[in-house]
Amino acid sequence: MFAVARVALTQGENTMIYPLILTLHLFAALIFIGTVFFEVLFLENIRKQLPARVMLLVEQGIGRRARSLMPWVLLVLFGAGLGMVWLRYLPALASPLSSSFGTLLALKIAVAVSVLLHFLGAMFLFKSGRMSPRYLHFIHGSLFCHMVVIVLLAKGMFYLTW
């Protein structure tokens, strides 16, 4: 009887914790995706309209803020994502090719890992002083594409079946 009560309590805890973890995951995703979209869709256009010196100051200010905030955002994003997998989606990942949901979730996780590797690579380049405008442009463009794929996979997990 104790084991049954513990299972019920654990399921109740999961029911209460999962929405919180999901909300944290979504807010962190909004911040990260919003930042990448802003840098790619707005800053690239603004660059052509501002003097180079002003644009350099704008980019430095945004870059400093992003480098101080994004590690925390990614920690919440990936931590909450792992929590969601642990609480709800581990069975789908045990055999990802057996369902469209599991396949799309596994692909989403793979793309997310690539995003994390991009971020770690960018942080390394910044710390080592080797980040160039060319690298930064490539990383932003690549992250932009990754974000579009992740959003499409996230929605597709719940609406696409085969």
- Read off the pLDDT of each residue in 68-85 and give the average, rounded to a whole number: 97
Same structural domain for residues 4 and 28? yes
pLDDT tens profile 7-65:
444 555 667 899 999 999 999 999 999 999 999 999 988 988 999 999 989 988 998 99
Q: Is the pLDDT of residue 4 over 50?
A: no
Three-state SS sequence of 57-126: HHHHHHHHHHHHHHHHHHHHHHHHHHHHHHHHHHHHHHCHHHCHHHHHHHHHHHHHHHHHHHHHHHHHHH
**Predicted local confidence at residue 19, as pLDDT:** 96
Same structural domain for residues 14 and 63? yes
Same structural domain for residues 67 and 111? no
- Single pTM value for the model: 0.85
Same structural domain for residues 80 and 129? no
**Predicted local confidence at residue 149, as pLDDT:** 98
Same structural domain for residues 34 and 83? yes
Average confidence score pLDDT of the chain: 91
Same structural domain for residues 105 and 80? no
CB 122 within 8 A of CB 139: yes
**Predicted local confidence at residue 7, as pLDDT:** 45
Same structural domain for residues 109 and 149? yes
Range of the domain at 158: 99-162
**Predicted local confidence at residue 10, as pLDDT:** 52
> Is residue 94, in this structure, part of any structural domain at all?
no
Find the range with the poorest average confidence among 4-13, 58-67, 68-77.
4-13
